[in-house]
Amino acid sequence: MHSLIQKAARSHRLSLEELTFLLSAAELTEDLAAAADEARKRYVGDGVHLRGLIEFSNICRQNCCYCGLRRDNQHLQRYRLEPTEIVKLAENAKALGFATIVVQGGEDVFFTAEILAEVVTAIKKLDVAVTLSVGERSRQDYQLWREAGADRYLLRIETTDASLYEKLDPGMSHANRRRCLQDLKELGYEVGTGSLVGLPGQGLESLAQDILFFQEIDADMLGIGPFIPNPDTPLGHEPPGDFPLTRRMVSLIRLLIPDANIPATTAMGTILPGGREIALASGANVVMPNVTVGEARLNYALYPGKICANDSPAKCRSCMEGRLRSMGRFVATGQGFRQRNTTERGLS
Ligand code: 5AD
Ligand code: SF4
Ligand code: FES
């Protein structure tokens, strides 16, 4: 095995140059995945946490150039679920056995902090972990939701290259995004972040920087997905992100932050059939099946071709269970909080 992979597996530390080299090394993809799979088994085990994802609104005040929910996209049927509908979906997900509910939406200002706090309070009564993913908000909002019982928050940094970020997310500030992540950490959330792989103008060194950033902020969860061009956006004609490169990102993150929760993302399963399973065998330990139903399920169209758009929550739940079993893995019990392993990492 390549000495740098051994070094990563042993010390969980690599320099920017070393990371950049490994990200460039297509021929090391399998070896990296094997090392990451071993680390995954040792640190987080064979159980795979399923998080039930509710996509409650596709209305967004932002205009990210890669995303189908961007406010200038006129080709999208917009929807917004009622708070009572969101809670109903959570109840169904709980009945299907999901122990974490993820409440995700575009940056829809209809959902005031108070309305979302009520949603959180209602879902927490189901005895599940609640993850919010509703974009950039004030510290006060984050605090209110934390007090209402929210356990986790997902906010991808998308890219740590501030000028690329501000070019692709017009009107948004990279500093504010970092501020949000900092506030969330300070408020005691488990914090998930992550990036897109293959954005136009994004180099390998920038992806290496992303990994160092995740380590620096001690992220609890890391969601990584390939950029998938959406014809209804300004980046519709750009080439998609590379699957093997995305896979090397996942593997390197497992090696460098071995006790993190890492989802096999829907985008990985969309860009390549069986892509989620490959991710699960390359360091990932979480899957986030969609538990939304009806029109909403079809219209949360970040990118085209999203898998499972025509399936039901029950179908995805049993499908995933079968897929995991055939890989020698199983659905983990419990709410799946990050289990910090300080001794393995030599930090005790
Ligand atoms: N391809 C892949 N992922 C995308 N996202 C948004 N648009 C795309 C796209 N075209 C991701 C962003 C965002 C998450 C909800 O979806 O990283 O954080
Ligand atoms: Fe809105 Fe998020 Fe899409 Fe940007 S990536 S347009 S903030 S939903
Ligand atoms: Fe949705 Fe297989 S996970 S159909």
What's the domain count of the chain?
A: 1
pLDDT for the residue 85: 98
Element spanning 105, H or E: strand 100-105
With a CB cutoff of 8 Å and minimum separation 6, the contacts of 29 are 244, 247, 248, 251
- Average pLDDT for the chain: 97
Among 307, 318, 321, 326, say which to mutate for ligand 3: greatest number of ligand atoms within 8 Å of CB.
Answer: 307
Name the residue of 64, 137, 165, 302 to mutate for ligand 2: max ligand atoms within 8 A of Cβ: 64
The atom number, within ligand 3, closest to the CA of 320 reads 3
337 belongs to a structural domain? no
Instruction: List pLDDT tens digits, range 74-88.
Output: 999 999 999 999 999
Is residue 212 in a domain?
yes
CA of 66 to the centre of ligand 1 (A): 7
Q: Which residues contact 201 (CB under 8 A, 6 or more apart)?
A: 164, 167
Ligand 2 centroid from CA 78, angstroms: 14
The confidence score (pLDDT) of residue 342 equals: 60
Given a cut of 80, whether residue 106 has pLDDT beyond it is yes
pLDDT of residue 340: 92
Residue 155 inside a domain? The answer is: yes
Residue 338 lies in a domain: no
* Ligand nearest to C-alpha 315: 3
Ligand nearest the Cα atom of residue 106: 2
Beta carbons of 219 and 248 less than 8 angstroms apart: no
**Alpha-carbon distance 321 to 32, whole Å?**
26
Question: Is residue 343 predicted with pLDDT exceeding 70?
Answer: no
Q: Is the dihedral of CA 121, 192, 244, 30 positive or negative?
A: negative
Query: Parallel, antiparallel, or unpaired for β 221-226 and 286-287?
Result: unpaired
Tell me whether residue 55 is in a domain. yes
**pTM of this structure:** 0.97
Residue at 102 is within a domain: yes
Distance from Cα 298 to the centre of ligand 3, integer Å: 14
Domain annotation covers residue 141: yes
| Model pLDDT for residues 257-282, shown as the tens digit of each residue | 999 999 999 999 999 999 999 999 99
Note the pLDDT of residue 1.
87
Structure tokens at 135: 């974009």
Question: How many A from CA of 65 to the centre of ligand 2?
Answer: 9
Residue 289: inside a domain, yes or no? yes
Query: Is 70 near ligand 2, meaning CB less than 6 Å away?
Result: yes
Q: What is the pLDDT of residue 341?
A: 81
Instruction: Give the residue numbers spanning the domain of 87.
Output: 2-331
Please check the confidence at residue 36 and state whether its pLDDT lies above 50: yes
**Residues 114-136: what's their mean pLDDT?**
98
CATH, residue 29 = 3.20.20.70
The protein residue with its alpha carbon nearest to ligand 2, atom 7, reads: 62
Ligand nearest to the CA of 169: 2
Whether the pLDDT of residue 331 is over 70: the answer is yes
